């Protein structure tokens, strides 16, 4: 056995460092065990709850840690969806008359096309008058329930292909009134 004093000190220091490292690891393990000790009696309930969650959500996970991981992933996904929905830009629908534009098949068109009602200036006025007259006649016939109104609009749209002349104009007025009621019903729900 060597008797070199430096070698002995070095070996002794290494042994004490190993002992200190083991003591530190042991104290950390004891701290973790102490932190878990108060909840040990609740562990069966926790495992049962995780099993119920796995079955209810049809998770493919088999172990409790995989179930927890799956649940956390779902929570993150739902929070991301919620955040995206909160910051979503609402759809804006413009019901105004679009600006006139050149025909797509004409390269030689120099001037902008005329307004589509220039040759029939009374179209909108006639429609407005007919709407008012038709509304006063049908004011009490239309339902106020949004779902009934939508079903009625579908029926009227299906009937349009079979109509001509004044019957077609009357059906168009009916649809316009239904659209106005749908608009009013949807505003009252928000």
- The model's pLDDT over 121-136, given as tens digits with 9 standing for 90+, comes to 566 677 776 777 766 6
Q: 107 or 70: which carries more pLDDT confidence?
A: 70
pLDDT at 68: 86
Q: Is residue 89 part of a domain?
A: no
Residue 127 and residue 79 share a domain: no
Boundary (domain end) residue, out of 26, 58, 83:
83
Average of per-residue pLDDT across 9-37: 92
pLDDT at 158: 84
Q: 28 or 151: which carries more pLDDT confidence?
A: 28
Q: Is residue 93 part of a domain?
A: no
Print the domain residue range for 135.
123-189
- Show the tokens assigned to 87: 């910051």
Q: Is residue 31 part of a domain?
A: yes
Pair 182, 146: CB distance under 8 Å: yes
Boundary (domain end) residue, out of 35, 66, 83:
83
HSE-CB of 146 using CA atoms within 13 angstroms: 9
Please state the domain count of the chain: 2
Q: What confidence category does residue 189 fall into, taking pLDDT thresholds of 50, 70 and 90?
A: low
When the pLDDT of each residue in the chain is averaged and rounded to a whole number, the result is: 78
Residue 127 and residue 76 share a domain: no
Pair 173, 134: CB distance under 8 Å: yes
Spatial CB neighbours of 160, under 8 Å, sequence gap ≥ 6: 168, 171, 172, 175
Tens digit of each residue's pLDDT (9 = 90 or more) over 29-38:
999 888 877 7
Query: Is pTM, for the whole model, over 0.95?
Result: no
């Amino acid at each position: 056995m060597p008797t070199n004093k430096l070698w002995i000190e070095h070996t002794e220091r290494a042994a004490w460092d190993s002992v200190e490292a083991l003591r530190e690891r042991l104290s950390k393990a004891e701290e973790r065990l102490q932190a878990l000790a108060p909840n040990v009696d609740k562990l069966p309930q926790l495992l049962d709850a995780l099993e119920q969650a796995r079955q209810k959500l049809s998770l493919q996970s088999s172990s409790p840690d995989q179930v927890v991981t799956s649940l956390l992933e779902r929570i993150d996904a739902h929070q991301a969806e919620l955040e995206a929905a909160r910051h979503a830009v609402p759809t804006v629908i413009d019901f105004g008359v679009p600006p006139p534009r050149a025909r797509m098949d004409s390269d030689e068109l120099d001037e902008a096309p005329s307004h589509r009602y220039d040759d029939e200036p009374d179209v909108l006025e006639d429609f407005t008058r007919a709407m008012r007259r038709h509304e006063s006649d049908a004011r009490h016939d239309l339902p106020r329930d949004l779902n009934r109104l939508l079903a009625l609009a579908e029926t009227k749209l299906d009937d349009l292909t079979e109509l001509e002349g004044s019957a077609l104009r009357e059906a168009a007025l009916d649809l316009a009134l239904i659209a106005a009621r749908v608009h009013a019903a949807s505003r009252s729900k928000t």
